[in-house]
Structure 1
Amino acid sequence: MIAPTLHTARLTLRMPVLADFGPRAEFYASDRSVWEGGPIDRRAAWRIWASEVAQWSLMGFGPFAVDHDGAYVGEVGVHQPEGYPEPELGWFVTPEAEGRGVAAEAAMAVKQWARTSFGWDRLVNYIEPGNTRSIALALRIGGQRCDLPGTEPGDVVILHDLRAL
């Protein structure tokens, strides 16, 4: 299974390719990755990225690479690694794409795709409490805080009701 190609008003969401790994490795090497267990080295970043991309063939969903005007600007998708209670909507954008609505636009497209493709009623976000930007984004795109279990103690869990789309 490979990712379908989705289009929004400004973005193309597609299957990740090897060339997309560089920006993710840079992210994981930087202080921006503190909410994702970083900073970590390139080898550890590879294991995370490769396992996320592999979910397409194993589970039928995973990260979409996000292109804006032909340039890679991040990844948004659904993942459910071992130990996650349910599928999570997640995002990563490059520094150049931050604050431009890219993650929100792509996440809305992924939510609709998940509803249409799988008939799922919901997706969640598991977010560390200090990651206020991701919490704000999750709420801005229609999520609601809830008391579902997270993946780590103290996680902020945000529920997206896909039936409302």
Structure 2
Amino acid sequence: MPHDIAAIPVIETERLLLRPLVFADWPAYFAFLASDRARYMGGPHSEETAWSFFCNDVAQWTLFSHGALMFEDRQTGETMGQVALCKGPLFPELELGWFVYDGAEGKGYALEAASALRDWGFATLGVSECVSYVDPDNARSIRLAERLGARLDPEAQAPHPANLVYRHERQAPQKNTT
């Protein structure tokens, strides 16, 4: 059943606003995917491929009630990257993915954005787990998956045989023992 596009979430964290993609995001999105920075995502990519990715990130909301959100600094409005919960026919499992624009790395933004969208997915979609598909040479994404509390799952199926699969599981609520 199609999802109401007006229901795409806007999620606020301490420093970030996670919001739907808009066409104004396209130039920076394309520049990222056309650059060497996209090498862990099969890039650099052509404009045609990048446009397919962009449209897929938007369409997933309508088709599956999940998709990608851009994240921006709440104070400045600067867009710093993207975080996504995606599945569709291309991924064996619901994937929590991210990318960060040049200059925004190492400041905890991806951790903050990915944690917020993952937790939204657990609460809103009712899923108990998701995965992150990570290129084995992408040390930063491996560290981020581990900082998010994900564990390497060598038995899981990946969309590309070389990908590592990190499994994120919803934590059971802690019982108050006092």
* Pairing 1:73–2:97 present: no
Instruction: Assess if the C-alpha contact under 8 Å between 1:122 and 1:163 holds in 2.
Output: no
* Pairing 1:20–2:25 present: yes
- DSSP 3-state at the match of 1:96: coil
Deviation at 1:164, TM superposition (A): 4.2
Equivalent-residue separation in structure 2 for 1:95 and 1:164 (angstroms) = 36
Instruction: Assess if the C-alpha contact under 8 Å between 2:10 and 2:19 holds in 1.
Output: yes
Equivalent-residue separation in structure 2 for 1:25 and 1:91 (angstroms) = 15
Q: Write the letter of the residue equivalent to 1:63.
A: A
Residue by residue over 1:107-127, the C-alpha shift from the partner in whole angstroms, topping out at 9 and shown as x without a partner, is: 110111001101110010111
Deviation at 1:154, TM superposition (A): 2.4
Match of 2:159 in 1: 151
Equivalent-residue separation in structure 1 for 2:167 and 2:86 (angstroms) = 15
Describe how 1:50-61 pairs up with structure 2 within 5 A.
50-61=55-66
* Pairing 1:100–2:107 present: yes
Instruction: Assess if the C-alpha contact under 8 Å between 2:158 and 2:165 holds in 1.
Output: yes
Equivalent-residue separation in structure 2 for 1:46 and 1:11 (angstroms) = 25
* Pairing 1:85–2:92 present: yes
> Percent same amino acid among aligned pairs?
38
For these two proteins, the number of residue pairs brought into alignment is 165
Structure 2 gaps, min length 5: 174-178
Equivalent-residue separation in structure 1 for 2:135 and 2:34 (angstroms) = 19
Equivalent-residue separation in structure 1 for 2:104 and 2:88 (angstroms) = 26
Equivalent-residue separation in structure 2 for 1:114 and 1:33 (angstroms) = 25
TM-score, normalised via structure 2 length: 0.88
Structure 1 gaps, min length 5: none
TM-score, normalised via structure 1 length: 0.95
Equivalent-residue separation in structure 2 for 1:155 and 1:75 (angstroms) = 20
Q: Higher helix proportion, which one?
A: 1
1:140 pairs, out of 147, 154, 172, with 147
Deviation at 1:133, TM superposition (A): 1.0
Equivalent-residue separation in structure 2 for 1:164 and 1:76 (angstroms) = 24
In our comparison, the structure showing a higher alpha carbon Rg is 2
Match of 1:110 in 2: 117
Q: Following superposition, which runs of at least 4 residues in structure 1 exceed 3 angstroms of deviation?
A: none
Instruction: Please report the RMSD computed on the Cα atoms of aligned residues, expressed in angstroms.
Output: 1.3
